[in-house]
Amino acid sequence: MVVNLSAAHSLVSNWIAELRDVNVQNDRMRFRRNLERIGEIAAYEISKELPSIVVETKTPLGTHQSKVLAQQPVLATILRAGLPMHNGLLNYFDKADNSFISAYRKHHPDGSFEICLEYMSCPSLDNRIVIIADPMLATGASIIKTIEHMKSEGAPAAFHVVVAIASTVGIAAIEKACGTNVKIWCGDIDDELTAKGYIVPGLGDAGDLAFGTKSQA
């Protein structure tokens, strides 16, 4: 299932517009903060779907039967571009466990590329709900590889994927490879993908815009 947070106008649409805007992108702090804000909104929306339990809460004047999360999710991010959105998720799921994944595109002379996953740090994933943050869902290859690797390390109950901008191609790839146990939350959705796997109109390289250019491809 896919949720487009810009399907109806909200502040998310405004933040996405600023992320795309070449006249605003040079403000790295605003760029990171807008990604963080989208992560916060996604966290709030996802929280509505997570299992809850009722606990007795003692107040100064009595007790209250309160609904709380039955279990904290695992927040995962693909370094480095996913860090601002991860922070947004963590602002709301402030008791969550965390996972960090190092993955990158290895480009070949013929213009093709493969996703190399070098490292993953994570808690036990058995029966846990995992929320993965990555600002751009282009081909879907890095998300698919991350989910497959996590499944090899444990038995997660379900996955939520949070992105700023997704391509229809990437969404279809994840749905085909990962089945119905993955829900995708998008700040917006674009239809076009270049031959090199970049989203159009997209917003450019989210990692570079948030943290500066890197020397390697």
User: Residue 120 maps to which CATH number?
Assistant: 3.40.50.2020
6 within domain boundaries: yes
Q: Which of 121, 109, 110 is nearest to 79 (CA)?
A: 121
pLDDT score of 3: 96
pLDDT at 111 over 70: no
pLDDT score of 106: 66
In this prediction, what percent of the chain has a pLDDT beyond 70?
A: 94
pLDDT at 217 over 70: no
Q: In whole angstroms, what is the distance from residue 163 CA to residue 174 CA? A: 13
Out of 101-105, 126-130, 159-163, which region has the weakest mean confidence (pLDDT)?
Answer: 101-105
pLDDT at 112 over 90: no
pLDDT at 117 over 80: no
pLDDT score of 196: 79
pLDDT score of 14: 97
In whole numbers, what is the pLDDT of the chain averaged over residues? 91
Structural domains of the chain, count: 1
57 within domain boundaries: no
pLDDT score of 35: 97
Q: What tens digit of pLDDT does each residue of 70-85 get?
A: 999 999 998 888 999 9
71 within domain boundaries: yes
130 within domain boundaries: yes
112 within domain boundaries: yes
Domain extent for 110: 2-52+66-211
